[in-house]
Amino acid sequence: MAKKYTKKHEVSYYECDINQTMTFPSMLGVVIKTSEDQSDQLGRGSEFVNSFGLTWVITNYSMEINRLPRVGEVISVTTQAMEYNKFFCYRNFWIHDEDGKELVKIESVFVLMDFVNRKMSSVNEEIIAPFESEKIKKIKRQEKIEKIDSGFMLPYRVRFYDIDSNQHVNNAMYFNWIIDVLGYDFLTTHVPEKVIIRFDKEVEYGNEIESHFEQIPIENGVKTKHEIRMQEQLYCEANIIWKNK
């Protein structure tokens, strides 16, 4: 059984939007920090990973949201590196409230990338052994992300603060562009229930990306489809299920 690691976090006003709940970039920032803390604790922090010429890259998230964390509450963030095969590491995250109720569950896929040739590397046993994940043969299929049929888009320029201390555009930042296009009225009358997202290609500083989206009515809510594109090239795609507030 893979090792679990838990950390408490007090949700600040500046991590929350006008709905009084955590923004996606803040929530993912806190979540990923937990996995970095576990790695450090096990002697497998970024320096160790970099010593092999490698760096971790996240390719997919799948989130189930019972309720978004609220301003002022103390949440527990738990992470566990569940399984891995030749190329992919499957890591889960859970956010619980003070009563132990599960607020959010996030499944993610991590890969190791060679940071010189920017190519995917096979999983290095020395890096992952201390996490005690289960080795599996199978490549786990991610839920299919539906493409946009006919949508709208807004352009966004990648800003200096979109690059974090890990030296590239933080995946969590893609949510700034994905969420913003939906607009104030939508975002104050809908609550996210489920998110699937895939990061296909890295956006770079100075790029001007297009955030495409489409809304499809479903029972008691809306499904939104998202694509981050640049000159016909796909960089990121996502589907979100929202319920009416």
Element (H, E) at 152: strand 152-157
Alpha-helical runs (H) found in 163-215: 174-180, 183-187
Give how far Cα 171 sits from Cα of 11, 12, 176, 218, Å.
Answer: 20, 21, 10, 28
DSSP-assigned letters across all residues of 20-46:
SBB-HHHHHHHHHHHHHHHHHHTT-SH
Closer residue to its own copies (CB): 165 or 231: 165
- Choosing from 99, 161, 219, 244, the residue that interacts with its own copies (CB under 8 A) is 161
Given a contact cutoff of 8 angstroms between Cβ atoms, the answer to whether 160 and 107 are in contact is: no
Which of these segments, 51-59, 85-93, 118-126, 174-182, binds its own copies (CB under 8 A)?
Answer: 174-182
Q: Does 205 interact with its own copies (rule: CB under 8 A)? A: yes
Q: Does 244 interact with its own copies (rule: CB under 8 A)? A: no
Given a contact cutoff of 8 angstroms between Cβ atoms, the answer to whether 74 and 52 are in contact is: no
Site for its own copies in 16-35 (CB under 8 A): 16-20, 23, 25, 29-30, 32-33
Which of these segments, 141-149, 179-187, 223-231, 233-241, binds its own copies (CB under 8 A)?
Answer: 179-187
Given a contact cutoff of 8 angstroms between Cβ atoms, the answer to whether 102 and 76 are in contact is: no
- Choosing from 119, 149, 184, 245, the residue that interacts with its own copies (CB under 8 A) is 184
Closer residue to its own copies (CB): 118 or 135: 118
Give exposure, 152-190, as e/b (b: 16+ Cβ within 10 Å).
Answer: ebeebebeeebbeeeebbbbbbbbbbbbebbeeeebeeb
Closer residue to its own copies (CB): 12 or 233: 12
Q: Does 172 interact with its own copies (rule: CB under 8 A)? A: yes
Q: Does 41 interact with its own copies (rule: CB under 8 A)? A: no
Site for its own copies in 73-132 (CB under 8 A): none
Kindly list the residues in this chain that would bind its own copies in the complex (CB under 8 A): 12-20, 23, 25, 29-30, 32-33, 36, 71, 159-161, 163-167, 170, 172, 176, 179-180, 182-184, 187, 205-206
